[in-house]
Amino acid sequence: MSKPLPQRPVIAVCGATGAVGREMLKVLEQRDFPATQVRALASARSAGSNLAFKGGTLEVEEMTEASFVGVDIALFSAGNAISERFRPAVLDAGAVMIDNSSAFRMEEGVPLVIPEVNPEDAFAHQGIIANPNCSTIQMVIVLDQLAKLAPLKRVVCSTYQAASGAGAGAMQELYDQSQEFLDGKPLTIEHFSHQIAFNCIPQIDVFLKDGDTKEEWKMVVETRKIMHQPRLALAMTCVRVPVLRCHAESVNVEFESAFDLEQARQALAAAPGIQVMDDPATLNYPMPGLLQGTDDIYVGRLRDDPSVAYGLQFWCVGDQLRKGAALNAVQIAELLINPRCSC
């Protein structure tokens, strides 16, 4: 483990001009994170620009190997290659890297942390803590509560992932393509493999030899690591949908033994970071278009799954830029400086 962290650390937001980086700054401000200083780091082309923060502005600095001198916690959201490049500089400076990319998630000795699920893992770090995949975070927060009712046997999940998961440019492409489609113009396709406007793409990341995509693989192996269940059976299908923000997931859970549906509902309603929206009589259920900018994971359509002996079905929605990325990273930082925090 690296040096003990001060109660008021110096924070560097790395990739500050990207969609998640900007959201990290918002979360630090909204949660009144007790930082002595916040530095905004990005590429050379963004250096000198300004970002709004706490009623003023932060001037963006070019991120170099020297940027981490005096930094206590570096919140990274700049992609795998950048995280890998700057890893030695961060560690040499004695800072903790909380990394939002997939570069280190499955590396031995790197904790993969959701504060509501496995906070104790964060304190086994050796200078790097990984933020899980956004879709993994959303699903596992719910699974962790359900696993307290009965052991999990198998989980099947289909995701409906927003454009925000592919970055700010992808969100703009959804805007632009929608307008082009309505105007009858040829569609500009750059960030996705196919048209995203008025379409669903059953591919996120590259295909692997077994036919799964890398996104689907991530959800499987990350879930097992976070929950410390290396043999948990999981089947994932990840789909990009024409939604700007908030991922949705349809999840079927098979338990090893009997559970009570109402008890499950009550446990989820009482859990930190989860809100139950589940009243079919009033058509009340979570929808991505209405939950943008929220911090919790919203669960609805809770019902028995009669196709197996002990089965439960649910639908959940969460903002990919908030709990799926920026918020989770900031909560890890809060945990590091205050192990007793509820985050």
Sheet holding 61-62: strands in order across? 61-62, 37-42, 10-14, 73-76, 96-99, 128-130
By DSSP bridging, strand 233-240 and strand 37-42 are unpaired
The DSSP result for 118-146, as a single string, is -GGGGGG-SSEEEPPPHHHHHHHHHHHHH
Q: How many CB atoms lie within 10 A of CB 108?
A: 4
Q: How many residues does the chain have?
A: 343
**Catalytic positions:** 134, 247
Q: How far apart are CA 58 and CA 23, in angstroms?
A: 14
By DSSP bridging, strand 311-318 and strand 247-255 are antiparallel
By DSSP bridging, strand 152-161 and strand 247-255 are antiparallel
Instruction: Give the E-state strand segments of the chain in sequence order.
Output: 10-14, 37-42, 50-53, 56-59, 61-62, 73-76, 96-99, 128-130, 152-161, 233-240, 247-255, 274-276, 297-304, 311-318
The DSSP result for 41-104, as a single string, is EE-GGGTT-EEEETTEEEE-EE--GGGGTT-SEEEE-S-HHHHHHHHHHHHHTTPEEEE-SSSS
